[in-house]
């Protein structure tokens, strides 16, 4: 991608999100400085440069499409970018805000805002790929800065990176982390969640909560059935699935399936008898 | 003839000291994150005194007892495999010179003499299989070889079994048979010790021991018999390669589709699984690259992605590939089964799939197996 005439140009755009993925990028520290010496960073509001209209070789996109302005702005970015790479759960899977897709968002808006007619909200919060073509998707909440850097390096060398979507479990084992599910009975989502995080949570004795999205061929129904057999209520299972990546299949279908098994009575969740 | 010695319990620290004095880094069992793991060890107090492991399909729990014994646990999630076949390591690096030429550099491991205490019969059997795999013929794996030749193994004869153990069914335990330097058998008041190699004898000579008494040797035998008797899991009668070959189309495989997570945990904890993948990492300026290998699993579709498609794309096919290799085609490849009966794949499967139960179902006529399918499906 590097030519004698000019350095590669990159941009980092933000949509509906918490800025955490831009921060993960910023937190790279020294490698980011090295990157800045290799490429021209034309737009990266969190870091300083602002030129949203710039034509670039690689556009990183954080956040989901939640409003009609979002969608229009995104189409423009796609036209001005050679590669478009989504970074993080919001951009790749709609994010935590996609939870509203399961509910009547209009009702929420009118319940919260004094002048709901001023709120421009699409019916669903959606991943970038539902609006424009995406060349590469990087998952995570937040995305791993190292993974973004690795992807950038690969694209600068002229190819898309190989992204490992095997289960978190394999990474746990490579890191010599003891399985929190087997040794402590924690409801870990690792067996159905894509690797990429470096198995951070299990290494610190916490069960994975699936922030990197579904692993390749994730057998979500088998894990959910197992969790139910160990005594986890259907509502809890549904919440494990309908969370940061709740809009991504097969989490969405399975999560709704388990949600439907919960009977609501007198405002309190109960398990079907 | 081997001479058995007795090392009093209060002298056990002298074994650690002797190993340290002989230049070994000592690795031994310790409790970490609710499991027995192997980690650097310097004091006897770091060993898991009085700790028992309770194991079941998909379940591993430690229990503190007042037994005072250091080796009453049976297995942890890993034993020797990570010490010889590293979970992730750089094999070589390359660098582009100013004149454009590429220079490749090997990155041999920095192995140092390492003594591992607490190795079980199943672990040794697995190591022997790995030796055959990694050290065969004219092209032994230099990384494995370097780590392997630096190992001194202090084995332990199991005096109890976990519910997941089935080494008597594979013929690999509970008594340590080969491949160790020193063997310990734990009694209440100390350890019966025997040396199997010159290196082991040199360590034994440095210890204050007494000749083992007949009744102590009898206690060791009784403990080994008890450990054998505690094992309830069995393998089907007859030759498993033929059984599995005949069961290729068995309908039972399909039931794995609803149970197996294809997470690869069974392969990662298996002491004989050796699959690996290689990844290259490029520097930002494109001038240097490092070529790493890491553990991989046949349960990952990427593992069999060849020429644009995934071979054995479905979950049951991948489970069948693993089980059929482990218990069947492995024999043709390495002269024995790839299973040493440690039971790790049973305990550390998050949903508790049990290889012995799967093999049992596959050994039965299809109709029988269906009638016993876990989804409760009845055959007419």
Q: How large is the ipTM?
A: 0.94
Q: Distance (Å) from the C-alpha of residue A128 to the closest C-alpha of chain B?
A: 25
Considering the domain boundaries, does residue A256 fall inside one? yes
CB-based contact, A228 to chain B, within 8 Å? no
Q: Phi, psi at residue B132, to the nearest 5°?
A: -65, -40
Question: Structural domain of residue A110, as residue ranges?
Answer: 9-156
**How close is the nearest chain B Cα to the Cα of A169, in Å?**
6
Q: What gap in Å lies between CA B163 and CA B7, rounded to an integer? A: 30
Q: Supply the pLDDT for residue A1.
A: 52
Regarding whether B150 and B34 lie in a shared domain, the answer is yes
Query: Using CA atoms, how far apart are residues A129 and A64, in angstroms rounded to an integer?
Result: 10
The C-alpha atoms of residue A233 and residue A213 are separated, in whole angstroms, by 22
A161 touches chain B (CB under 8 A): no
The CA-to-CA distance between both ends of chain B, in Å, stands at 62
Q: How many domains does chain B have?
A: 2
Chain A: residue whose CA lies nearest to B267: A170
Q: Are residues A199 and A242 in the same domain?
A: yes
Asked if B33 and A156 come within 8 Å (Cβ–Cβ), the reply is no
The residue among B168, B194, B229 that closes a domain is: B229
Is some CB atom of chain B closer than 8 A to the CB atom of A152? yes
pLDDT value at residue A270: 53
- B145 and B264 in a single domain? The answer is no
Report CA dihedral (A122, A126, A130, A136) to the nearest 10 degrees: 150
B283: chain A residues, CB-CB within 8 Å: 153
Looking at residue B329, what DSSP letter applies?
A: I
Do B130 and B44 fall within a single domain?
A: yes
- pLDDT for the residue B243: 96
**Residues of chain A contacting B33 with CB distance shorter than 8 Å:** 177-178, 180, 183, 205
Pick from A33, A148, A178 the residue to mutate for testing the B interface (most B CBs within 10 Å). Answer: A178
Judge: B350–A166 Cβ closer than 8 Å, yes or no.
no
Q: Which residue of A has its CA nearest to B277?
A: A164
Asked if A160 is an interface residue toward chain B (Cβ–Cβ < 8 A), one would say no
Q: Does A49 touch chain B (CB under 8 A)?
A: no
User: Is there a single domain that holds both residue A185 and residue A147?
Assistant: no
Q: Are residues B166 and B50 in the same domain?
A: yes
- Gap between the Cα atoms of B35 and B51, Å rounded: 10
Distance from CA of B58 to the nearest CA of A (A): 6
For residue A4, being part of any structural domain is answered with no
Task: State the smallest CA–CA distance between residue B35 and chain A in angstroms.
Answer: 7
- CA–CA distance, B106 with A256 (Å, rounded to integer): 52
Q: Is residue A205 assigned to a domain?
A: yes
CB atoms within 10 A of CB B323: 22
Chain A residues touching B78 at Cβ < 8 A: 173, 176
Give the mutation candidate from B38, B56, B57, B262 for the A interface (greatest A CB count, under 10 A).
B262
Which residues in B73-102 are b (16+ Cβ under 10 Å) and which e?
Answer: bbbbbbbbbbbbbbbeebbebeeeeeeeee
SS3 A143: coil
Query: Exposed/middle/buried for A232, CB within 10 Å: 0-12, 13-18, 19+?
Result: middle
Of B293, B257, B239, B247, the residue nearest B373 (C-alpha): B257
CA distances from B106 to B85, B103, B291 (A): 17, 10, 10
Q: What is the per-residue pLDDT for A269?
A: 55
Note whether B211 and B151 are same-domain residues: yes
Pick from B258, B262, B350: CB nearest A182: B350
Q: What is d(CA A74, CA A93) in angstroms, rounded to the nearest whole number? A: 16
Q: pTM for the whole thing? A: 0.94
Contact B16, B42 (CB under 8 A): yes
Could you give the C-alpha distances from A217 to A164, B262, B300, in angstroms and in order?
Answer: 13, 8, 9
Q: What is the CATH number of the domain that holds A96?
A: 3.40.50.700
Q: In terms of domains, do B67 and B215 share one?
A: yes
> Cα B6 to the chain's mean position, in Å?
28
> Could you tell me whether strands A9-14 and A40-44 are parallel, antiparallel, or unpaired per DSSP bridges?
parallel
Which runs of consecutive H residues, i.e. helices, occur in chain A?
A: 20-26, 30-38, 68-79, 89-93, 105-112, 145-156, 168-174, 180-184, 200-203, 220-229, 234-241, 251-259
* Cβ distance of A166 and B37 shorter than 8 Å: no
Judge whether A178 and B35 are in contact, CB under 8 Å. Answer: yes
Is A176 touching B (CB cutoff 8 A)? yes
Chain B CB contacts of A38 under 8 Å are 284-285
3-state secondary structure of A175: coil
Determine contact, residues B310/B137, Cβ cutoff 8 Å. no
Partner-chain residue, chosen from A176, A190, A217, that has the shortest CB–CB distance to B82: A176
Dist CA B172 CA B342 (whole Å): 9
3-state secondary structure of B310: strand
Chain A residues with CB-CB distance to B269 below 8 A: 173
Put simply, whether A182 touches B (Cβ < 8 Å) is yes
pLDDT at position A266 is 52
Give the end of a domain, one of A98, A128, A156: A156
**Same domain? A125 vs A179:** no
Q: Is A74 exposed, middle or buried (0-12, 13-18, 19+ CB in 10 A)?
A: buried
Question: Which residue of chain B is at minimal alpha-carbon distance from A148?
Answer: B284
- Which residues from chain B sit within 8 angstroms of residue A225, using beta carbons? 258
Interface touch B302/A223, C-beta < 8 Å? no
CA distance A151 to A85: 9
Give the per-residue pLDDT at A271: 54
Name the residue in chain B with its Cα closest to that of A202: B33
pLDDT in tens, chain B (380 residues): 567 999 999 999 999 999 999 999 999 999 999 999 999 999 999 999 999 999 999 999 999 999 999 999 999 999 899 999 999 999 999 999 999 999 999 999 989 999 999 999 999 999 999 999 999 878 899 999 999 999 999 999 999 999 999 999 999 999 999 999 999 999 999 999 999 999 999 999 999 999 999 999 999 999 999 999 999 999 999 999 999 999 999 999 999 999 999 999 999 999 999 999 999 999 988 899 999 999 999 999 999 999 999 999 999 999 999 999 999 999 999 999 999 999 999 999 999 999 999 999 999 988 754 544 444 444 43
Provide the CA A247 distance to its chain's centre, in angstroms.
10
Collect all residues of chain B within an 8 Å Cβ-Cβ radius of residue A171: none
Cβ <8 Å between A219 and B269: no
Residues of chain A below pLDDT 50: 2, 273
Alpha carbon of A201: minimum distance to chain B alpha carbons (Å): 13
B77 touches B269 (CB < 8 A): yes
Q: How many structural domains are present in chain A? A: 2
Same domain, B166 and B256: no
Q: Are B102 and B282 a contacting pair, CB within 8 Å?
A: no
Task: Show Cβ contacts of residue B148 under 8 Å, excluding neighbours closer than 6 positions.
Answer: B84, B131, B134, B135
Domain that holds residue B170: 5-89+110-229
Burial level of B202, CB count in 10 A (0-12/13-18/19+)? Answer: middle
Using CB atoms within 10 Å of the CB of residue B251, give its burial: 0 to 12 exposed, 13 to 18 middle, 19+ buried: middle
Closest of B176, B233, B186, B172 to residue B52, by C-alpha: B186
Q: How far apart are the first and last CA of chain A?
A: 62
- Testing the interface with B: which of A8, A157, A169 to mutate, by most B Cβ within 10 A? A169
User: Do residue A30 and residue A147 come from a single domain?
Assistant: yes
Select from B229, B258, B285 the last residue of a domain. B229
Closest CA relative to residue B128, chosen from B293, B340, B276: B340
């Amino acid at each position: 991608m590097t030519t004698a005439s000019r350095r590669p140009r990159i941009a980092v755009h933000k949509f509906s999100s918490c800025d955490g993925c831009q921060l993960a990028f910023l937190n790279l520290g020294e490698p980011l400085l090295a990157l800045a010496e290799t490429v021209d960073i034309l737009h990266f509001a969190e870091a300083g440069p602002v030129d949203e209209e710039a034509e670039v070789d690689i556009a990183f996109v954080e956040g989901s499409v939640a409003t009609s302005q979002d969608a229009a702005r995104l189409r423009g970015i796609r036209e001005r970018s050679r590669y478009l790479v989504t970074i993080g759960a919001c951009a790749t899977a709609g994010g935590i805000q996609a939870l509203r897709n399961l509910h009547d968002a209009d009702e929420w808006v009118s319940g919260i805002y004094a002048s709901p007619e001023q709120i421009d909200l699409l019916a669903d919060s959606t991943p970038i790929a539902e609006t424009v073509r995406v060349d590469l998707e990087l998952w995570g909440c937040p995305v791993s800065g190292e993974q973004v850097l690795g992807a950038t390096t690969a694209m600068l060398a002229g190819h898309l990176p190989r992204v490992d979507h095997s289960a978190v479990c394999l990474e746990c084992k490579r890191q010599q982390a003891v399985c929190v599910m087997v040794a402590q009975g924690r409801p870990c989502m690792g067996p159905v969640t894509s690797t990429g995080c470096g198995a951070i949570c299990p290494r610190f004795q916490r069960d994975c909560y699936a922030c990197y999205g579904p692993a390749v061929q994730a057998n979500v129904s088998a894990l959910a059935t197992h969790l139910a057999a160990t005594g986890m209520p259907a509502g809890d299972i549904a919440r494990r699935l309908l969370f940061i990546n709740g809009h991504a299949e097969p989490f969405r279908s399975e999560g709704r399936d388990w949600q439907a098994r919960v009977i609501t009575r007198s405002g309190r969740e109960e398990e079907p008898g | 003839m081997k001479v058995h010695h007795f090392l009093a319990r209060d002298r056990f620290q002298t074994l650690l000291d002797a190993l340290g004095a002989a230049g070994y880094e000592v690795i031994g069992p310790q409790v970490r994150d609710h499991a027995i793991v192997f980690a650097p060890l310097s004091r006897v107090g770091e060993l898991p005194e009085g700790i028992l492991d309770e194991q079941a399909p998909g379940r591993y729990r430690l229990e503190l007892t007042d037994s005072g014994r250091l080796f009453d646990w049976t297995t942890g999630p890993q034993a020797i495999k990570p010490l010889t076949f590293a979970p992730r390591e750089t094999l070589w690096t390359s660098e582009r010179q100013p004149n454009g030429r590429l220079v490749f550099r090997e990155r041999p491991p920095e192995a140092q003499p390492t003594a591992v205490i607490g190795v079980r019969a199943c672990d040794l059997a697995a190591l022997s299989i790995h030796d055959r795999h990694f050290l065969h013929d004219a092209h032994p794996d230099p990384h494995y070889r370097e780590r392997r030749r630096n190992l001194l193994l202090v084995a332990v004869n199991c005096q109890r079994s976990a519910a997941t153990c089935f080494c008597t069914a594979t013929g690999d335990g509970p008594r340590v048979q080969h491949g160790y330097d020193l063997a310990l058998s734990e009694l209440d008041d100390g350890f019966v010790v025997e040396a199997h190699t010159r290196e082991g004898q040199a360590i034994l000579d440095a210890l204050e021991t007494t000749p083992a008494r007949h009744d102590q040797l009898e206690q060791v035998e009784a403990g080994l018999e008890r450990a054998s008797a505690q094992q309830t899991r069995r393998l089907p009668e007859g030759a498993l390669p033929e059984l599995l070959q005949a069961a290729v189309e068995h309908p039972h495989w399909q039931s794995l589709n609803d149970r197996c997570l294809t997470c690869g945990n069974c392969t990662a904890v298996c002491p004989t699984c050796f699959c690996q993948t290689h990844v290259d990492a490029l520097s930002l300026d494109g001038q240097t690259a490092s070529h790493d290998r890491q553990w991989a699993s046949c349960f990952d579709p990427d593992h069999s992605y060849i020429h644009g498609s995934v071979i054995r794309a479905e979950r049951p096919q991948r489970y069948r590939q693993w089980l059929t290799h482990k218990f069947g085609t492995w024999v043709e490849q390495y002269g024995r089964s790839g299973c040493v009966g440690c039971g790790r794949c049973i305990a550390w499967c998050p949903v508790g799939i049990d290889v012995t139960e799967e093999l049992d179902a596959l050994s039965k006529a299809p109709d029988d197996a269906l009638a016993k399918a876990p989804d409760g499906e009845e055959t007419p």
